[in-house]
Structure 1
Amino acid sequence: MKTQLVISTAGVVLIAACADSGANYQPILDGTPTPAYQADLAACQALAHDQNQFDQETLGATVLGAGAGAALGAAESGDALGGALAGALAGGIASAVDVSERRESIVVECLRGRGHRVVG
């Protein structure tokens, strides 16, 4: 039980760390940045960070993963708690990675919309 608690705590910390990483993305520019680039970058990163629905999606995926993992764990090995923890970690991490990629995309598209030549 203690091992499962340590694993689940580490997973929650990992998910929390990954969830906001896309909003802090530093894109690659084609050419020299304009004088307005730093202000535009900060505004676009703030826009990406403020997308709270992504955080709710990660929470939902974590809960769904926990439910599916509990059902599988109970059916296969009789360990519903262990299955729930594993499912929650899998669902949460997968969703956090997706959220990070979408926040990166928001930063890139926002900068392009402001006239910066972002290549990635």
Structure 2
Amino acid sequence: MRHLRIPAALLPVALAACGAGADYTPIVDGTRGATFEHDLAACRALAREQDQLNQEAIAAAVLGAGVGAMVGGLDDSLTVEEAALGGLVIVGGSALADGTEKREEIVTECMRGRGHRVVG
């Protein structure tokens, strides 16, 4: 019987993703004003409040695992568990990436709202 060791290998990646996007530093046009660092810290804190592992991300990951399990049942080169894990990682990773982008958008819009000329 083969043992599946992939989840332990993915733990550091999942933990690193928890803060992803909230540490984003936007590009500003011109010089940074006196309040830039203070505003950036406040906007990053606001972005961290955005939950990356929300119900939508969890549902997407579960759906990915289900699809992966179905594919694994049709493919003799993978076990159902390996295929399910692959689906979970691919779809769940995509959902985490979406959360990261959302956090970056929050930082960008927050900084614009505070009067900084953010271009990206």
Query: Is TM > 0.5 for Structure 1 vs Structure 2?
Result: yes
Q: Which residue does the alignment assign to 1:55?
A: 53
Moved over 3 A (4+): none
- CA drift at 1:102: 1.2
- TM-score by length of structure 2 reads 0.86
Could you tell me which runs of 5 or more consecutive residues in structure 2 were left unpaired when the two chains were aligned.
none
Structure with the bigger percentage of helix: 1
Q: Deviations over 1:56-107 (max 9, x none)?
A: 1333322221111111111222721111111111112111111111110110
In the TM superposition, 1:18-97 aligns within 5 A as 18-52=17-51, 54-56=52-54, 57-77=56-76, 79-97=79-97
Root-mean-square deviation (Å)? 1.7
Q: Deviations over 1:26-48 (max 9, x none)?
A: 11111111111111111111111
- TM-score by length of structure 1 reads 0.86
Would you say how many aligned residue pairs link Structure 1 and Structure 2?
A: 117
- CA drift at 1:19: 4.0
- Percent sequence identity is 44
Q: Which residue does the alignment assign to 2:115?
A: 115
The one-letter code of the counterpart of 2:79 is: D
Task: Answer yes or no: is the 8 Å Cα contact 1:23–1:48 preserved in 2.
Answer: yes
Could you tell me which runs of 5 or more consecutive residues in structure 1 were left unpaired when the two chains were aligned.
none
- CA drift at 1:25: 0.2
